[in-house]
Amino acid sequence: MSQSRTPRTNNESIRWWRTWATGHRVAAAVLAGVVATHVATIFGYWFPGVGLTRLDWNTANGWVYVPFASPLAKFVTGGVFHYLDGILFAVVYACALHPVLPWRNSPAGNLTKGLVFGTLLAVISVAFMTPQVYGPARGTDPGFLSLELGGTYILTVFVWHWVYGLHLSLIYNPLPATEGLAELSERTPSAAGDGRDESPVLAKDH
């Protein structure tokens, strides 16, 4: 009996989370940004194990912000800015980009949105951040589209940002607009009972 109830329980838990994310978009985006940034950052150190380039964005940012500091200070200071960037990008994604992307807010649709966002960030990274910011901070010239660093580096940057976009979409996974309104209405009966109409606020959240 317990085994037959497990799938339903899991589905209800996922549904509860998606409903919460629908009604608390900024908070869900912040949490998603922390998780996605941390997981992708760890993957960056693991990449050499699968033949990709080691990506240490903490130290790379440290070279930008505190170029004359010790290696440890570069790593810590750069890490603060790196994680802050990841969180802020997640909030921008949730508030500005996610609502206008054409895919439906289904799990697959949200996953697609996250991967598209990750791809966009990867393009910005190889086209601007690496050749214009990170490279010059270390006294190197990565060249146009970072081509001087080789194809493996470019592929690694894209994989890193896909890992970020994947985990961003797993955590920030809101319901479709109509389903989200219905779920939130069912879970907030007090608002209807005291005569308050919260639907315009909820509608704006989409």
Segment 15-65, tens digit of pLDDT: 999 999 999 999 999 999 999 999 999 999 999 999 999 999 999 999 999
Q: In this predicted structure, what is the pLDDT of residue 197?
A: 39
pLDDT score of 68 more than 90? yes
- Residue 1's pLDDT band (cuts 50, 70, 90): very low
Please state the rounded mean pLDDT for residues 140-161: 97
Q: In this predicted structure, what is the pLDDT of residue 86?
A: 98
Measuring CA to CA, how many Å separate 187 from each of 19, 33, 180, 181, 182? 9, 26, 11, 10, 9
Segment 102-140, tens digit of pLDDT: 999 999 999 999 999 999 999 999 999 999 999 999 999
pLDDT score of 88 more than 70? yes
Report the candidate in 72, 71, 94, 79 with the shortest Cα–Cα distance to residue 44.
79
Q: At what angle do helices 151-171 and 107-124 cross, to 10 degrees?
A: 140
Q: In this predicted structure, what is the pLDDT of residue 12?
A: 86
Q: In this predicted structure, what is the pLDDT of residue 11?
A: 83
